[in-house]
Amino acid sequence: MTVFLTGASGLVGSAFARAAARRGHRVVGVVGGHASGVEGLAEKRTLDLADAGATTAAVLDVFPEAIVNCAAVSSPDACEVNPAQAQALNVALPALLAQLAHHVSARFVHLSSEQVFDGAQTTPYRAGDAPSPIQLYGRQKLESERAVDAVAREEAATLRAPLLMGNSLAGRRSPHERLFADWAEGRVPRLYTDEFRQPCTAENLAEVMLELCERPDVRGVVHWAGAEVISRHALGRRIRDHFKLSEKEAPIVAVTRAETPDATRKRQACLALDLAPLVGKLKTRPQTIAEQLEELKVPPPYREWYLKR
Ligand X SMILES: NC(=O)c1ccc[n+]([C@@H]2O[C@H](COP(=O)([O-])OP(=O)(O)OC[C@H]3O[C@@H](n4cnc5c(N)ncnc54)[C@H](OP(=O)(O)O)[C@@H]3O)[C@@H](O)[C@H]2O)c1
Q: By three-state DSSP, how is residue 77 classified?
A: helix
Tell me which of 59, 74, 145, 240 binds ligand X, using CB under 6 A: 74
Q: What's the closest the beta carbon of residue 19 comes to ligand X, in angstroms? A: 13
Q: Is 111 in the site for ligand X (CB under 6 A)?
A: yes
Interface with ligand X, residue 48, by CB under 6 A: yes
Does residue 164 touch ligand X according to CB under 6 A? yes
**Window 207 to 266, contacts with ligand X (CB under 6 A):** none
Assess 7 for contact with ligand X (CB under 6 A). Answer: yes
From the list 12, 17, 114, the residue with the least C-alpha distance to 66 is 17
34 binds ligand X (CB under 6 A): yes
Minimal distance, residue 47 CB to ligand X, in Å: 6
- Is residue 55 within 8 A of residue 61, CB to CB? The reply is no
Among 1, 21, 42, 50, binds ligand X (CB under 6 A): 50
- Is 89 a residue that touches ligand X (CB under 6 A)? yes
Question: Phi and psi of 264, rounded to 5°?
Answer: -85, -10
Contacting residue, 13, 131, 138, 189, with ligand X by CB under 6 A: 13
Spatial distance between the Cα atoms of 93 and 74, rounded to a whole number of angstroms? 13
The answer to the question of residue 10 lying near ligand X (CB under 6 A) is yes
For the chain, the distance separating the N- and C-terminal CA atoms, rounded to the nearest angstrom, is 46
**Judged by CB, which is closer to ligand X: 111, or 142?**
111
* Least distance to ligand X, CB of residue 246, Å: 27
Least separation in angstroms between residue 32's CB and ligand X is 3
Segment near ligand X (CB under 6 A); pick from 159-167, 182-190, 223-231, 292-300:
159-167
Angle at 179 between CA 227 and CA 291, to 5 degrees: 25
Residues 190 and 194: their CA atoms lie apart, in Å, by 12
Question: Closest CB to ligand X among 200 and 255?
Answer: 200
Kindly state whether residue 17 participates in binding ligand X, applying the rule CB under 6 A.
no
By CB atoms closer than 10 A (0-12, 13-18, 19+), residue 261 is: exposed
CA separation for the pair 251, 248 (Å, rounded): 6
87-115: b (≥16 Cβ within 10 Å) or e = bbbbbbbbbbbbbbbbebebbbbbbbbbb
| Interface pattern 165-184 for ligand X (x via CB under 6 A) | ---x----x-----------
Of positions 1, 2, 26, 32, contacts ligand X by CB under 6 A: 32
According to the binding rule CB under 6 A, does residue 148 interact with ligand X?
no
| Residue with smallest beta-carbon separation from ligand X | 10
In the beta sheet, which residues pair with residue 220?
157
Alpha-carbon gap, residue 17 to 7, rounded angstroms: 10
Residues that bind ligand X (CB under 6 A): 7-13, 30-34, 47-50, 70-72, 74, 89, 111, 113, 161, 163-164, 168, 173
